[in-house]
Chains A and B, each alone.
Chain A
Amino acid sequence: DTAVSQTPKYLVTQMGNDKSIKCEQNLGHDTMYWYKQDSKKFLKIMFSYNNKELIINETVPNRFSPKSPDKAHLNLHINSLELGDSAVYFCASSQNQGFTEAFFGQGTRLTVV
Chain B
Amino acid sequence: AQSVTQLDSQVPVFEEAPVELRCNYSSSVSVYLFWYVQYPNQGLQLLLKYLSGSTLVKGINGFEAEFNKSQTSFHVRKPSVHISDTAEYFCAVSAGGYQKVTFGTGTKLQVIP
Contacts and interface: CB of A to CB of B under 8 A. Distances in A.
Interface residues of A, number: 27
Give the secondary structure class of A's interface. strand
Contacts of A98: 32, 94, 96-99
Interface residues of B, number: 23
Interface in A32-72: 33, 40-45, 48, 50, 55-56
A56 B100 contact: yes
A33 B44 CA distance: 13
B57 to A, nearest CB: 12
B97 A45 contact: no
A107 B88 CA distance: 15
Interface in B79-113: 88, 90, 94, 96-101, 103, 105-106
Interface of B: 32, 34, 36, 38, 42-46, 49, 51, 88, 90, 94, 96-101, 103, 105-106
The 6 closest A-B pairs by CB, nearest first: A104-B43, A43-B103, A104-B44, A99-B94, A106-B43, A41-B106
10 contacts: A4-B43, A31-B99, A41-B88, A41-B105, A41-B106, A55-B99, A97-B98, A98-B97, A99-B98, A101-B49
